Amino acid sequence: MKKSKFQVNEKGYYGEFGGAWIPEMMYTNIDELKRRYLEIIEADDFKAEFNQLMKDYVGRPSPLYFAKRLSEHYGSKIFLKREDLNHTGSHKLNNTVGQILLAQKLGKTRIIAETGAGQHGVATATVCALKGLKCVVYMGALDVKRQAPNVKKMKMLGAEVVPVHSGNKTLKDATNEAMRDWISNPVDTHYIIGSVVGPHPYPDMVARFQSIISAEIKSQLLEQTGSEFPTRVLACVGGGSNAAGAFSHFLDDEQVELIGVEAAGKGVDTPETAATLTVGSPGILHAAKTILMQNEDGQITEPYSISAGLDYPGIGPLHAHLHKTGRAKYLATTDEEVLKAALLLTQLEGIIPALESAHALAALAKIKMKPDDVNVINLSGSGNKDMETYLEYFGYLELSTE
C-alpha cells in the first residue's frame, strides 16, 4: 500500500482519532504487535504466502462485475466488486488470513476472537482450522442464541465458543472478555480483531489486509473501462473494514468520490439506529479515540440495525478522520430502504446480497448520478446468511419490488 496522507501516523493516529488507549496490563501485547507488524507483513515471504492463499483459498481476485440491468435502472454505470464470492461469503477472510499468518510469524499457538453476528468468528475459526491453531471465540450469550447456525459452524471447524453472560450479553461484552483473556495470556495468544477498530496497530493492519480490494478494483477498472479511476466508490460501514479496503488505494486520488453508508436502522431520529457518524460524538471505544454512540454520561448506547454486521456503536478511527476532513462522505440508509434495494438487486441481477452490503446499494437512490459516471459498489457479502430475514419481511409468495 503506498503512503497516503490519510494513513496512520507514527503515533498511531488518524488526525485526532485512533491511538492505543489500553490498560497498562495490555501494553506488552500491543507493544509487540506495534513493533513487529510492518516488518512482518511487508516481508517478501509473508506477501508470497498471503497472495497464494488469497488466490487459491479465498478465490481472489473477486470479479468486478458490470451490472447492466441495475445500471439501466439507475441511468448510470454500476459495477459490483464481488466480495460475496470469496470463501465463507464475505470480505472478512482477507483479514483473518493475514492475521493468522502474522500470528504464526510471532510464534503464537492460540487464537482468540470476539464476534457479534458470528461472521468474524466463522472467518477466524476457518483460518485456525487451515493452520491447525487452537481457537477460542467469545460471543455474547444473547448472540449465541440469535446466531445459532454460525455457532454450529464454528464448533464444526474446531473452535471453542465461549458465551459471555455479562452486560447486555452482546458484542461489547464479548470484546471485554476477549481483552481480559489476552491480558492473561500475553505470550502464546494472538487476538484477531475483525474490523478496522481497536487500539493501534489494528486499524492500520486490518486496512492493509483489506486493501487488496481496491488494488484489484483499480486494475479491473483499467481493463474494463480504460481508466483505473471510478467516479465514486460506495461501501457499507459497520466498523469500516470493507469500506477501508475499497477506499484504500483511492484515498489520495481526490477526484474519486468515496461514500460510506451506515445503518440508519428504523431512522436516525429514533433510538433504534446504528448511524454512528450521524448521532455519535467523540470518545474512547475499544481502546481507540473515535466517534461512538453514547449517552450524556458517556455510557455506550445499544445500537440497532436489521443487519447484525452493522450493529456496532462505533466506527474505525480512519473513518472518523475521513468524515472530519471531508475526504469521504457518509450516508445512512434505513432497514426499509435496504430491504427494497436487496430485492431490486436480486431481481435485476440474480444476486442476493448480504443485508450489510444492501445498505450501500440503497444509497444509490440518494445520490445524483450522471449517465457516464462509473460507480463501484463493494458487495461485501452474500445474502445466504440472511434468507430468514428476507423471507420474514417479503413473505414467501408475494415478493414484489413495488
**Least distance from ligand PLP to the Cβ atom of residue 91, Å:** 6
DSSP for 262-284, written as a single string: EEEET-TTSSS---HHHH-EEEE
According to CB under 6 A, which one of 354, 358, 362, 374 is a site residue for ligand PLP? Answer: 354
81 among known catalytic residues:
no
Q: Which stretch binds ligand PLP (CB under 6 A): 41-49, 221-229, 236-244, 329-337?
A: 236-244
Nearest to 256 by CA among 360, 327, 358, 317: 327
According to CB under 6 A, which one of 60, 380, 383, 386 is a site residue for ligand PLP? Answer: 380
Question: Among residues 77, 108, 114, 216, which one is catalytic?
Answer: 114
CA angle 14, 17, 19 (to 5 degrees): 85
71 among known catalytic residues:
no
According to CB under 6 A, which one of 198, 201, 309, 313 is a site residue for ligand PLP? Answer: 309
Beta bridge mates, 320: none
Q: Which is nearer to ligand PLP, 85 or 369 (CB)?
A: 85
**Least distance from ligand PLP to the Cβ atom of residue 230, Å:** 19
Residue number with the smallest Cβ distance to ligand PLP = 381
169 among known catalytic residues:
no
Segment 39 to 98, residues that bind ligand PLP, using CB under 6 A:
90, 92
According to CB under 6 A, which one of 241, 248, 334, 346 is a site residue for ligand PLP? Answer: 241
According to CB under 6 A, which one of 124, 242, 276, 346 is a site residue for ligand PLP? Answer: 242
Phi and psi dihedrals of 185, rounded to 5? -130, 60
Q: Which is nearer to ligand PLP, 354 or 361 (CB)?
A: 354
**Least distance from ligand PLP to the Cβ atom of residue 274, Å:** 11
Q: Which is nearer to ligand PLP, 161 or 310 (CB)?
A: 310
Residue owning grid cell 459498489: 377
Segment 180 to 199, residues that bind ligand PLP, using CB under 6 A:
195
Query: What grid cell was written down for 338?
Result: 435496504
Question: Among residues 34, 81, 92, 385, which one is catalytic?
Answer: 92
Rounded CA-CA distance 249/214 in Å is: 6
**Which one-letter amino acid corresponds to residue 121?**
G
Taking residue 255's Cβ as centre, other Cβ atoms within 10 Å add up to: 9
Rounded CA-CA distance 278/268 in Å is: 7
Q: b/e per residue, 163-192, with b = 16+ CB within 10 A?
A: bbeebebbbbbbbbbbbebbbebeeebbbb
Q: Is the dihedral of CA 400, 392, 150, 172 positive or negative?
A: positive
Element (H, E) at 77: strand 77-82
Rounded CA-CA distance 359/195 in Å is: 17
Q: Which is nearer to ligand PLP, 76 or 386 (CB)?
A: 386
Q: Which stretch binds ligand PLP (CB under 6 A): 13-21, 127-135, 226-234, 238-246?
A: 238-246
Q: Which is nearer to ligand PLP, 71 or 195 (CB)?
A: 195
CA 151 from centroid of its chain's CA atoms: 20
Q: Kindly tell me the burial class for residue 137, based on how many C-beta atoms sit within 10 Å of its own C-beta (0-12, 13-18, 19 or more).
A: buried
119 touches ligand PLP (CB under 6 A): yes
According to CB under 6 A, which one of 118, 140, 230, 238 is a site residue for ligand PLP? Answer: 238
**Least distance from ligand PLP to the Cβ atom of residue 235, Å:** 7
Residues designated catalytic: 92, 114, 380
Give residues in contact with ligand PLP (CB under 6 A): 90, 92, 119, 195, 236-242, 309-310, 354, 356-357, 380-381
